[in-house]
Structure 1
């Protein structure tokens, strides 16, 4: 019984800490845009959509959250995302995935709340924006097996690269000139978990 009580207390404290650090972000919905269009949040943060004009049926590109309609009769809608990743969404009346009236929500990788002393790896890509030739650096931990996953704006993976520590310490040159111009999401992955995210803009 004592062990169960201790577990309940610890779980309650952890939940309280998680709730206390959760934030709320506002996305304005107007003709014909989401503002901000590209939003980065932490796991568990609330995204609050606020109507300003028009009628906009909003859906998730990958069914990450329930659809809703922004209009004068329904001026607000809130959604919470708990899993790291990139979530695209769009207005079905004025856009499609990655086109017209669309947006993305990038959820950062979760970091431990209690006893966290390890420094998260830092992913650097430059120049950014780039015309295709970029330099990648990562302050990797010894023995860590990192991968770089590059996805387009609708979340489709277009490139996966295994990163060797001896290359990324000094910088690893990457040639992405074969990819179309646009915005890409670069996720640093360790043990199938996203530990770092950067946006990369490729120009013609």
Structure 2
């Protein structure tokens, strides 16, 4: 999927969702910096945490969550400028 740098600056795309564990994140970053991604179960426990260094522009990152149990998770992506939360469904 393409992200339009003007219209989609505040959009986080996560696909496929539901996923079997291999997924892709995509968003637009106004400036270079750190991108933190946390995957939490519905009790609030952090199941996975990722820390990426990213350049300004389109940020696209694959994630492998195949070792997590099936269920519903909250995926949180945070930068210095913004924070997103998406519901993620893990299936087999």
What interval of TM-score do these two structures reach, taking the shorter chain for normalisation?
0.7 to 0.9
Assess if the C-alpha contact under 8 Å between 2:76 and 2:85 holds in 1. Answer: yes
Tell me the TM-score normalised to structure 1 length: 0.37
Assess if the C-alpha contact under 8 Å between 1:121 and 1:195 holds in 2. Answer: no
Q: State the SS of the aligned residue for 2:33.
A: coil
Larger-gyration structure (1/2): 1
Tell me the TM-score normalised to structure 2 length: 0.76
Sort the Cα spacing of 1:160 and 1:121 in 2 relative to 1 into closer, same or farther, 3 A. Answer: farther
1:131 aligned to 2:20? yes
RMSD: 2.4
Give the structure 2 partner of residue 164 of structure 1: 53
Q: CA deviation at 1:140?
A: 1.3
Give the structure 2 partner of residue 197 of structure 1: 85
* Separation (CA, whole Å) in 2 of partners of 1:189 and 1:164: 12
Q: Which has the higher helix share?
A: 1
Assess if the C-alpha contact under 8 Å between 1:138 and 1:169 holds in 2. Answer: yes
Give the structure 1 partner of residue 66 of structure 2: 177
1:121 aligned to 2:7? no
Give the structure 2 partner of residue 48 of structure 1: none
Assess if the C-alpha contact under 8 Å between 1:153 and 1:184 holds in 2. Answer: yes
Deviation track 1:147-185 (CA, whole Å, cap 9, x = no partner) reads 11110011101111113325x826211111000000000
